[in-house]
Structure 1
């Protein structure tokens, strides 16, 4: 299970200063909304991004998931530029251990005095096998002109991120849904009353390995709370909470496995063997959407 303290939306300030930066006419803003339909931490390990103003590099930065710096979707707030300045962003996506990007996306526009333009930029899985000619970039699986006329761009609205698609939450994914399964290294389904083995933990106590199938919730930054209740013992286990990153599971949506849940906290292990345990999982994503699930299991004798 990959558990990271991931912020709701990473705000990276990219300094865009041209010859007019700092002067009274540097009041044109461009805000980039960076999204992807790939799973960060699994399909994307890091991104490298470069910004240019009128052809001059103003910022070059590398952000990695392992370093806790990469979270998508995210908002890249660019500092004021002069009216008419051409602003360009190049984003390269890398898999873990690879030295060459497998997706490269460019986007450009012109800053407009008195406006905060919203420039959407996506890293698309459909572009991983496409090589575009010089002067073009890949978006949604097709080679296109990276320049977007500012007159076609909307003004920045900070609420955009709540409706932005990602690897696990899309307009077609429906309401949040969570299914409890089991498994340390893969998801396996659970039926009501299934017997589940326990094993000793590295720091004492005994645990079961749980897994979740999830739809309609963000791939990154969702807060997971797992609790349990032994009805025969009238004993409630203290819940635990962590921030998790989901992986894609094809048509099944997304999933997480390897969730270690201690079942004898505050109880002798002998007293829980052979007992029914009602498990509840609650997953709340950064948008405030919540999915819940409950499942009765029986601890192995």
Structure 2
């Protein structure tokens, strides 16, 4: 199970600032919002970006998921720039341990006095096999001009991030839903009343490996709560909570496996063997959308 802390302080990714920052006429803002339809932590692990203002490099940065620095979608309100400043952002995404980027993207516009413009930048899986000519960039699988006229850009609204597409939550993914399965290294179906084998944990106790299939929730930063109840014993197992990162599972949506659920917390292990256990899952994403599921299993004798 991939479990990563994703504090909101770490989602800031791109700062655009001209050499005139802080001057009296620096009242033009460009806010960059970075999104991807690839699974962060699996399909991409690192993002490198370069910002230029009026042809001068103002910032170069590398952010890694493995170091807890990369969480998408992301934005950061920017410092003022001067009117008419040309702002360009180049982003490259890498898999863990690879030196060549999976995908690159460039976007540019001009700052406009008195406006806070929102410049969307997406890292699209459809661009991973496309090489564009000099002066062009790939977006949604096609080579396009990286320059976007300011008149076509919307004003920045912080609410954009709640509806931004990602690897697991899209307009077509439907309402939030979760299905409980089993598996340490892959998802396997779990039917009502199935007998499951438990195994000893490295720090005591005994557990079963759960796995989840998920739709309609964000790929990163969802809060997973796992609990359960033994109806025959009238005993409620203490629940545990963690932040999780989902992986894509093709047409099945997204998933996570290797969820270690201790089934004898507060009980002798012999007292739960052969008992019915009602497992309960709650998964809430950073937008506040929630999916719940319950599954009855039987602990192997």
Please give the range of the TM-score, normalised by the shorter of the 2 chains. over 0.9
Q: TM-score, normalised by structure 1?
A: 0.98
Q: Indicate yes or no: 2:15 matched with 1:14.
A: yes
Q: Note the C-alpha offset of 1:100.
A: 1.2
Q: Whole-Å Cα distance in 2 between the matches of residues 274 and 189 of structure 1?
A: 20
- Any gaps of 5 or more consecutive residues in structure 2? none
Q: Whole-Å Cα distance in 2 between the matches of residues 76 and 48 of structure 1?
A: 16
Q: Indicate yes or no: 2:209 matched with 1:209.
A: yes
Residues 1-301 of structure 1 aligned to structure 2 (within 5 Å): 1-8=1-8, 10-12=11-13, 14=15, 16-18=17-19, 20-301=20-301
**Does the residue aligned with 1:168 lie in a helix, a strand or coil?**
coil
Stretch of structure 1 that moved more, 73-82 or 268-277: 73-82
**Does the residue aligned with 1:188 lie in a helix, a strand or coil?**
coil
Q: Whole-Å Cα distance in 1 between the matches of residues 195 and 33 of structure 2?
A: 46
Q: Note the C-alpha offset of 1:138.
A: 0.1
Q: Whole-Å Cα distance in 2 between the matches of residues 93 and 57 of structure 1?
A: 19
Q: Contact conserved, 1:17 with 1:53, CA < 8 A, in 2?
A: yes
Q: Note the C-alpha offset of 1:273.
A: 0.3
Q: Note the C-alpha offset of 1:79.
A: 1.7
**Does the residue aligned with 2:13 lie in a helix, a strand or coil?**
strand
Q: Contact conserved, 1:12 with 1:77, CA < 8 A, in 2?
A: no
Q: Note the C-alpha offset of 1:17.
A: 2.9
Residues 45 and 13 (structure 1), Cα distance of their counterparts in 2 relative to 1, 3 Å cut: closer
**Does the residue aligned with 2:244 lie in a helix, a strand or coil?**
strand
Q: Whole-Å Cα distance in 1 between the matches of residues 16 and 135 of structure 2?
A: 24
Q: How many residues get paired? A: 300
Segments of 4+ moved more than 6 angstroms: none
Q: Contact conserved, 2:18 with 2:85, CA < 8 A, in 1?
A: no
Q: Contact conserved, 1:13 with 1:79, CA < 8 A, in 2?
A: no
Q: Whole-Å Cα distance in 1 between the matches of residues 258 and 219 of structure 2?
A: 16
| Superposition CA RMSD, Å | 0.9
**Does the residue aligned with 2:217 lie in a helix, a strand or coil?**
coil
Q: Contact conserved, 1:183 with 1:211, CA < 8 A, in 2?
A: yes
**Does the residue aligned with 1:162 lie in a helix, a strand or coil?**
helix
